[in-house]
Amino acid sequence: MKIICVGRNYIKHVKELNSAFPEDLVFFLKPESALLRRNVFFIPNFSNEIHYEVELVLRISKLGKCINRKFAHRYYDAIALGIDFTARDIQQQCKQKGLPWEKAKAFDGSALISEFIPINEFKDLNSIIFSLKKNGEIVQLGNSADMIFKFDEIIENVSKYMTLKIGDVIFTGTPEGVGPVKKEDLLEGFLEEKKMFRIKIK
C-alpha cells in the first residue's frame, strides 16, 4: 500500500506555518513502515519538535490512473481519521535547504490511521467535522468544507502522477492548530461526535 499525504490544503494552516499558498496540489508519500500499529507514539530521538496534524484519510477502493474528477468518487469508499506526525524541526531544515521531507514525515510510527467508516454513513462529504483533543482540550477543529482541494480534485491530481491501487490511503491535509507533543500527552481524535482514536505519547 501507499500512504499519500496532501500538504497545505487548509488556508489557515498554510498561514500558521508561513508556507507559500499552493498553486497546485502539494503531496508526498510515507512508506507502509510509517503506520502506527499501537495506541502509543514514541517520540523519536532525532527530533526535538514532533507535531500532531489531524487529517481526514481516504481509502482507495478501485484501481485507477488519470481519473477524471467527475468519476473520482467511485475510487474511494471509506474515511478514517489520522495523524500525520511531523518532525517540524527537521522539516524546517529540509525546507530551508530545498531538500525532500522524508526524514521529517516518513519515519516509523508517523502515520496513525483509525478504523474506516464507509462513506455512505456520512451525510455530506463536503462538511465533515473533525477534531483533535490534547489532554482533554480541543487543539484542532476542522471541516472538510474548508479544504482548498476537495476529495475528488485530490484523486484527479494524484492519479495524474501515480496509479492508485486498492488499499492505498490519502491523508487530505490538516487544518490550523498544529502543535508539539511531549511525553505523557494524550491525543484523542473525533469524527463528528465519534471517538476514533486515543493515543498516548511516550
Q: What residues line the site for Mg ion (CB under 5 A)?
A: 53, 84, 174
Name 9's Cβ contacts closer than 8 Å, sequence gap at least 6. 22, 25, 26, 147, 148, 149, 172, 173, 174
Q: How far is the CB of 80 from Mg ion (least distance, A)?
A: 14
Name the minimum Å distance from CB 101 to Mg ion: 10
- Beta carbon nearer to Mg ion, 51 or 133: 51
**Nearer Cβ to Mg ion (33/68):** 33
Helix (H, G, I), strand (E, B) or coil at 13: helix
Query: Least separation, in Å, of the C-beta of 17 and Mg ion?
Result: 10
Query: What residues form DSSP beta bridges with 78?
Result: 59, 118
Q: How far is the CB of 179 from Mg ion (least distance, A)?
A: 13
Residues 6+ away with beta carbon under 8 Å from 52: 83, 85, 132, 134, 139, 140, 178, 179, 181, 187
The SS3 assignment for 73 reads helix
Place of cell 500499529: 37
Compute the chain's Rg from CA coordinates: 16
| Minimum CB–partner distance for residue 120 and Mg ion (Å) | 26
Q: Toward Mg ion, which CB reaches closer, 52 or 76?
A: 52
Comparison of 157 and 174: residue with beta carbon closer to Mg ion: 174
Q: Residue 18 or 184: which CB sits closer to Mg ion?
A: 18
CA dihedral 60, 62, 68, 74 (to 10 degrees): -80
Residue, CB closest to Mg ion: 84
